[in-house]
Amino acid sequence: HYSCNLSGEWSFFMLISGLFHSKQGKILEKLGLCSQLGFTRYMRQGKKLGEDPKLFIKDLQFGKVPVRIYQPRAPSAGRRRGVIYFHGGGWMFGSINSYEPICRYIARESESVVVSVEYRLAPEHTYPAQYEDCLTSTTHFMKTAEDYGVDPACIIISGDSAGGNLAAAVCQTLVGRPDLPKVHAQVLIYPCLQAIDFNLPSYQQNCAVPILFRERTAFYVLQYLKGDASFLEDVLEGCHMPVDVKLKFRKWLSADNIPKEFKVRGYKPKVPIQSSNEVYEAVKKICEPTFSPLLTEDAVVRQLPESFILTCEYDVLRDDALLYKKRLEDGGVPVTWYHIENGFHGIIRFTMDHGIFFISVQNMTYIALNKD
């Protein structure tokens, strides 16, 4: 377990920067000039950068899924480690272009071959399209790793936010694939891992903390699930799941499993509310482990690879990761946990040159170099 602090000045700058585009998009949509979704995508899309003196960069397709692969130019004495990266963005935003600086950074600093995946986005494409694209591209890479100078036994699956959700889901699925090499490690950066309970301590404490609000999180979940945000209030209040379903998952979702120090900023347990059958039928796929990896069975958890998890104190998703960390540790999986005590959601997009993101890259390298 490691922890660190980010200066108040940087925190303020990054929060203001993250909110600016969202406000602009709302104004332009009200003026009828463009949709907020379209504007936000445009502002976040990034662009492909020029040549990198240390990397070969190619755009390819892995099983019809667009990917960008980053290979170090320097000669290597043996096969390199491979890193598959699924970008964040609430399953609605982000691209291989917007994550170009991050993936270049990983490839250079860890001397790894990095594959960045351009999975389909909601609401145009709903669950399980994103998961399927990530699984397809990953299995393709694992089967052809040697073609890219990668050791098939040294592949790390990683992602942030929604990408962390996809990374966790893909890792769980690959546990049941004896025809493929075992995944060497997973790196989950403030992942979203469940959509049953939006009233965990971190959701209550950070409900209005930029850049990811509690309500916006549920909105993204529903867009991913079915392409619209109907039943948003039901989901936020916990009316989307029958009491018996909540009780079934309570052993994994209970706030009792979250350390006491994460409740000191306030937490009020919510009394279970009975759902309507209409709402449950519309959203019940939320319970599938490929949608909510925190809900997978113990038998799967016990087979998962060594894990690195990064959490931020001021992030609604903090407790998803803490609960998953406990499940992994209870299942005997080695976990390295890094907690940013005054960090917030999306922080790696702002801090690549200020030490925070390097922690994840360091751990990718450490895990890979210390393989069995």
Kindly report, residue by residue over 262-316, the tens digit of the pLDDT.
999 999 998 877 788 899 999 999 999 999 999 999 999 999 999 999 999 999 9
Angle between helix 318-330 and 243-253 (nearest 10): 70
**For residue 371, is pLDDT > 50?**
no
Which range has the worst mean pLDDT, 26-35, 301-310, 322-331?
26-35
Could you count the other beta carbons within 10 Å of the beta carbon of residue 144? 12
Radius of gyration of the chain (CA): 20
Structural domains of the chain, with CATH: 2-195+290-369 (3.40.50.1820)
pLDDT of residue 370: 54
Instruction: Please enumerate in sequence order all residues whose Cβ is within 8 A of that of 219, keeping only pairs 6 or more positions apart, or say none.
Output: 229, 232
Question: What DSSP assignment string belongs to 201-238?
Answer: HHHHHTTT-TTS-HHHHHHHHHHHHHSS-TTHHHHHHT
pLDDT value at residue 300: 99
- pLDDT for res 109: 87
Give SS3 for 58. strand
Across the range 351-372, mean pLDDT stands at 53
**What is the pLDDT, as a whole number, of residue 44?**
63
Structure-block tokens of residue 358: 């390097």
Query: What average pLDDT does the structure give for the chain?
Result: 88
Q: CA 115, 224, 96: angle at the middle one, nearest 5?
A: 25
Q: Per the structure block, which two tokens stand in for 234? A: 């039901």
| Amino acid in position 284 | K
Structure tokens at 173: 């699925």
For the stretch 134-171, pLDDT in tens is 999 999 999 999 999 999 999 999 999 999 999 999 99
Q: Name which residue leads in pLDDT, 341 or 291.
A: 291
- Checking if the pLDDT of 320 tops 90, the result is yes
List active site positions. 161, 315, 345
The answer to whether the beta carbons of residues 225 and 285 sit under 8 Å apart is: yes
> What digits encode the pLDDT tens for the residues 167-211?
999 999 999 999 999 999 999 999 999 999 999 999 999 998 888
Task: Write down the pLDDT at residue 171.
Answer: 99
DSSP conformational letter for 44: H
Strand spans (E) along the chain:
2-4, 55-62, 65-72, 80-86, 113-117, 150-160, 185-189, 306-314, 335-344
Alpha carbons within 13 A on the beta-carbon side of 44: 27
Q: Would you state the pLDDT for residue 36?
A: 67
- What are the CA-CA distances from residue 37 to residues 26, 45, 93, 124, 220 (Å)? 9, 12, 8, 11, 12
Tens-place pLDDT, residues 218-249: 999 999 999 999 999 999 999 999 989 999 99
pLDDT at 372: 43
Q: What gap in Å lies between CA 336 and CA 187, rounded to an integer?
A: 9
Name which of 141, 195, 230 is nearest 316 in CA terms: 195
The partner residues of 62 in beta bridges, in order of sequence, read: 65
pLDDT of 121 strictly over 80 = yes
- Per-residue pLDDT band at 353 (split at 50, 70, 90): very low
Q: Over 60: is that where the pLDDT of 369 sits?
A: no
> Span 66-72, mean pLDDT?
98
Query: pLDDT tens across 86-103, in order?
Result: 999 999 999 999 999 999
Could you give the residue ranges of the DSSP H alpha helices within 267-370? 277-283, 298-301, 318-330, 356-369
CB atoms within 10 A of CB 32: 7
DSSP 279-300: HHHHHGGGGSTTT-GGGS-HHH
| Structure confidence at residue 49 (pLDDT) | 77
Structure tokens at 203: 């959701």
Give per-residue pLDDT as tens, 32-41.
766 666 666 5
Task: Return d(Cα 258, Cα 288) in angstroms, integer.
Answer: 23
Tell me how far apart the alpha carbons of residues 306 and 89 are, in angstroms, rounded to a whole number.
25
And the tokens for 342? 């005054």
* Tokens, residue 324: 């998953």
**pLDDT score, position 210:** 84
pLDDT at res. 354:
42
pLDDT of residue 2 exceeding 60, the answer is no
